[in-house]
Amino acid sequence: MTHHVTAGLDGSAEGAAAARWAARQALMRGGPLEVVHVEEWLERPPRPVSTTEITRRWADALLEETAEELRSVHPGLEITPRRLGGLPSVGVAGSTPIGQAAVQVLNASHDAALVGLGRRIRHSALGTHIGR
């Protein structure tokens, strides 16, 4: 196990708070920080290329802006932004839906000392969902 810390970003205020917390944890542990965002995409129906490109630009900007903000607060901290891709839903664990984003973040952080994630709760006709 390494001393690096991984933070998952989704564009929410909670995700940004988790990234700030993860940066402080990385400093305390003396290791680098990796900030990751998982771009969820659908195979069917395929999204238009322009929509996919806009989503990628947004994700890249989210990662870079977050990394720059954290570097300004913690100038000595090594920060690596990383965009990943995956399918939106892969199954259920107990009564909680597990999306590919969660799986990708877990895979990306398998050797991390610590993982920081924000938590959002949204409600729909299908019930309560955590995440986006």
pLDDT digits (tens, 9 = 90+) for 69-81: 999 999 999 999 9
Q: Is the pTM of this model over 0.85?
A: no
pLDDT in tens, 15-68: 899 899 999 999 999 999 999 988 766 555 555 556 677 888 888 999 999 999
- Please state, in angstroms and rounded to a whole number, the distance separating the CA atoms of residues 96 and 103: 13
Query: What's the domain count of the chain?
Result: 1
- Please state, in angstroms and rounded to a whole number, the distance separating the CA atoms of residues 21 and 15: 10
Domain of 114?
A: 5-130
Angle between helices 49-73 and 13-29 (to 10 degrees): 50
Tokens representing 95 are: 């009564």
Asked if 14 and 120 count as a contact pair (C-beta separation under 8 A), the reply is yes
Tokens representing 126 are: 């299908």
Tally of CB atoms within 10 A around 41: 16
- CATH number of the domain encompassing residue 87: 3.40.50.620
